[in-house]
Amino acid sequence: MAEQHVNGTDLNRSANFPSLEGLRSAKSTHRLDQIARVRAKGVGDHISLPQLVVCGGQSAGKSSVLEGITGIPFPRQDGVCTKFATEIILHHHEEETRIKATVIPHASCNKSQRERFPAYYRVLSDFSELPGVITEVGALMRLRGSGMDDGLTFGEDVLRIEVIGKTGLYLTVVDLPGLISVASEEQTEEDVQLIGRLVDTYLESSRTIILAVVQANNDIANQGIIQRARKFDRGGLRTRQELDFFSSPAWKEHRLDLTRLGVTALREYLQELLDGYIEKELAKVRGEIKSLLASNESQLATLGEERPSSLYMRMFLTRRSMEFHGLVQSALDGNYYERNAEFFRVRHTARLRAEVHRLNGSFAAEMRENGLLGSRVRINAEDGPLLVTQHELHEWVKENYLRTRGRELPGNYNHVLLAELYHEQSSRWASIAENHVAKLFDITTDFVSAAMDHVVREENMRREIILLANNRLEEAKISANGELQKLLADERRQPITYNHYYTDNIRNARESSMKDAMQKAMRAAVEKDWNGKFHVSNTPLELEKVLASLQKGVIVNMDDQACAEAMGGLQAYYKANLIRCREYIHKLTDLKVALKTFVDNVCRQVIERHILSTLPNIFAPTTVMELSEEDLVRIASEPEKQRERRVALLTLAEELKESLLDLRT
């Protein structure tokens, strides 16, 4: 809309302002000017500012009262109603003369409306152009009856008319559409609800001075606007002086108080009321602006840094990756108190090294308790250890001995036998180890998600980075499982060890076996040949008799001899001791050479090497530098809504700061 300038127009005359010399006060001039500047910045959309609201039912005479207060001739033809809120700001100025019309979009407006409304700016030469402005604004709001056949009947946007000149007043007055009592064909129930919401929006503010206009020929108890005013001003604080006025003796005696009649008296009364009210509320307004500014800055902080170009995007991601790297390194080192202490304090599962130790300990314990015997044993349902009787153990070894016989001489066993026994007893290692690696990978994945939540605040970006990190984690998982399969494949080969414990245990087992055999033969000889009382003289004949008796207890079954040797070799390989407990051979108790080595290899070579050591690099500065331009924009660019939110917050922050400067004195 082309801007129109005032060319020497006498605003006081063309606007038909009455002369109000002496009414103006320095206090109201200063305060109302401050409020007008703050409202012009749009802060009134976020913080309630002192204002006078003219409201009532349709055809109640609001426009007539409004003209009497402001001197502005609003259209009052039959059938014409106010279709949107009109905010009139009156500034007294001895020299400058200007009438300006603008449109303030409602908070619910979409992007196109927000761009269209601020573009409307018109300077009027006099108030005779006001009807045309109202028609233009109605068309701008797409309202029915303003050059349009369809659309809404009423709008929630605001027409602002700023009048500067010899007005004699410093007031901000809001004219609202009249309340509709009953819906009709032209004014629907939706229109009734919209106007009700619009009026309530203004009246609910404690800083609104309600000027309720009612028809004198209707019972005041039936006036909807009076009911609304009482709803939002239950204590009557905003109408106390009016109540005092109507309860005065003059009214009780049915005599009129001439000082309270007419537009001039109303304007003087409103000016005095507004002076005191604004002074009281202005301090609260300053506090609310400061509070809103702090909240605004906090919301800006949650949006993170602005990223207008790929350079800023890469720098932003690099900083996030460095923060993630430090967090992961602290978790792996078990350093939970120096850096990122709050993260580790709130999330106990984030203490990754502690969780790894716990799971590794459980893995080692399960291997010791449940990992040594294969399918030829029973499982105790109560406590889980694998139990086998002495006879069952002997039969199991003998069965495998007979299946693996080769060219060896009687009394010896094929070297394959030890491998067969070892492989069958260690057959559960694979499932136990695979289950352990899966558990540890799960807690690692959970940790990465928690760390990303802590480092990256933006949901879209966090989701993209987690996808990127999960790809690296999946590679680590595949690599770890591959390493585990190599370890298991090694365990399926012929057993090899250079551990001196093996030869020591072989010797100990043989000595123990010989000792047991000698003791058994001796007891049998004493019982049979000496009637339980063993006493011999040191003569060759007696010694020969002892040797002959002992020979009867020597094992002559070469298969049994070979099986005994094999059992000793197997037990030596595991560094195991069998302890008798009633009818069972109890669980193997010592830390076995092969089992211990396997457990350590899983923890070091699979978990540490392929899973944990890769964590700091799944989202590192080098990862960011390797991102293509396309991937960088997809991951780090700000969503459209976030950019709009940032612009809105920055604009509001600037308006709030300027408003604080306007209200500082």
How many Å apart are CA 506 and CA 503, to the nearest integer?
A: 5
Going by their DSSP bridges, the two strands 121-124 and 386-387 should be labelled as unpaired
**Gyration radius from the chain CA atoms:** 48
Amino acid 18: pLDDT:
42
Instruction: Answer yes or no: do 436 and 468 share one domain.
Output: yes
Residues 134 and 172 in one domain: yes
352-406 residue pLDDT tens: 898 999 999 999 998 888 876 543 444 443 334 444 555 655 565 666 656 666 5
- Are residues 359 and 484 located together in one domain of the fold? yes
Is residue 665, in this structure, part of any structural domain at all? no
- The Cα–Cα gap between 583 and 8 comes to 121
For residue 14, pLDDT over 60 is answered with no
Q: 518: closest CA among 564, 559, 552, 566?
A: 552
Counting the structural domains of the chain, the total is: 2
> Are 258 and 366 within one domain?
no
Q: Is residue 270 part of a domain?
A: yes
User: 289 and 341 share a domain?
Assistant: no
Please check whether residue 326 lies inside any domain of the structure.
yes
Mean pLDDT (whole number) for 261-275: 68
Q: What pLDDT, on the 0 to 100 scale, is given for residue 243? A: 45
Residues 357 and 276 in one domain: no
Same domain (yes/no): 282, 348 = no
Residues 401 and 495 in one domain: yes
- When pLDDT is cut at 50, 70 and 90, the band that residue 517 belongs to is low
Domain assignment present for residue 95? The answer is yes
Are 193 and 267 in the same domain? yes
Structure tokens at 307: 């990223």
Of residues 577 and 44, more confidently modeled = 44
Do 292 and 323 reside in the same domain of the chain? no
Containing domain of residue 515, as a range?
Answer: 317-636
Assess whether pLDDT exceeds 50 at residue 123: yes
- Residues, the chain, total? 665
What pTM, to 2 d.p., does this model score?
0.51
Report residue 373 as tokens.
């015997």
Residues 211 and 287 occupy one common structural domain: yes
261 confidence band (pLDDT: 50, 70, 90): low
Contact (CB, 8 A) for 27 and 170: no
- Which domain-ending residue is among 297, 331, 355? 297
Co-location of 331 and 223 in the same domain: no
Other CB atoms within a 10 A radius of the CB of residue 181 amount to 12
